[in-house]
Amino acid sequence: MIQQLIQYRIRVISFLVLVTLTLSVFWLYSLTLSKTAFASGILLLCCILFLAAYQWRKKLSFLSLGTATVWLQFHIFVGLMSSLLFLMHIGFRVPDGMLEFALFLTYCFVFLSGVLGWLLSRIIPYRLLSRGEQVIYERIPIYYRKVREAVEQLVSENLKTDEENAVADFYQKNLREFFSGPRNQLRHILHSRRHRHQLTQQVSQILPYLEEREQEAMKQIAVQIQLKDDLDYQRSLQSVLKTWLFVHVPLTWTLILFALFHTITVCAFASTSG
């Protein structure tokens, strides 16, 4: 633990040294009256390519390229540093050309989605652990099916020949929809339990009107409601973590394309000196 802490501190310090060095080189360069935008642009492009390389590192886990943890830390550090470079590169103002503006927006989205991802990866694991069984995302549909079958079994066991099928009616009216697939995604993301409370109340309201056997079945259905809701909770939060990557990664590739195009045009049409 202590060793890990020391290693982490060494990484933070080396990052700070790196940032200071980069900025001072950059400042010294600006003293020579050279066009600083060119230098900051090249550096920025290198940073973006390094940031994108993280995705490749994941695929090359069997090569001695350092652990994924260290890479992620540098990914975050370099990402932060790139934001400083970016601000300097655009001269602290919103660019006005079409391509530049698109580039500006893409960078902002990539950066913000990165920050959001980092926050999510810190917050969601805690929340996932707080409710329900720890299930593998891909297996959730199997659990859904099991829960639904258990409930339908309870309902069918309580079917009567006359018309007064209270449990079946209740299931049809209030629960069928709920058990048929993932529900209340947004509520779970916002950490609301309102729907769960409502369903539990509906179950307790019907209990006084049921026979003893039906009451017992209803209580068991209530347990399945909790199970299903916990599964929804796990699914919603895990899908946030998965969807986030589907936003961040394609945006990064768009950014690289724009940035390369921008670099080529700039190199083709501008001179590098003062």
Contacts of 77 (CB under 8 A, 6+ apart): 11, 12, 15, 18
**61-92 per-residue burial string, b: 16 or more CB within 10 A, e: under 16:** eeeeeeeeeebebbbbbbbebbbbbbebbbee
Rounded-to-integer distance, Cα 113 and Cα 244, Å: 8
126 binds another protein (CB under 8 A): yes
72 binds another protein (CB under 8 A): yes
52 binds another protein (CB under 8 A): no
243 binds another protein (CB under 8 A): no
Q: Which is nearer to another protein, 49 or 245 (CB)?
A: 245
Instruction: Name the burial class of residue 41, with classes exposed (0-12), middle (13-18) and buried (19+) by CB atoms within 10 angstroms of its CB.
Output: buried
**What track of x and - describes contact with another protein for positions 85 through 124 (by CB under 8 A)?**
-----------------------------------xx--x
63 binds another protein (CB under 8 A): yes
- Binding residues for another protein, rule CB under 8 A, total 29
Smallest distance, another protein to C-beta of residue 117, A: 9
Torsion over CA: 56, 61, 66, 67 (sign): positive
Interaction site with another protein (CB under 8 A): 1-2, 4, 58-64, 67-69, 71-72, 120-121, 124-126, 128-129, 134-137, 238, 241, 245
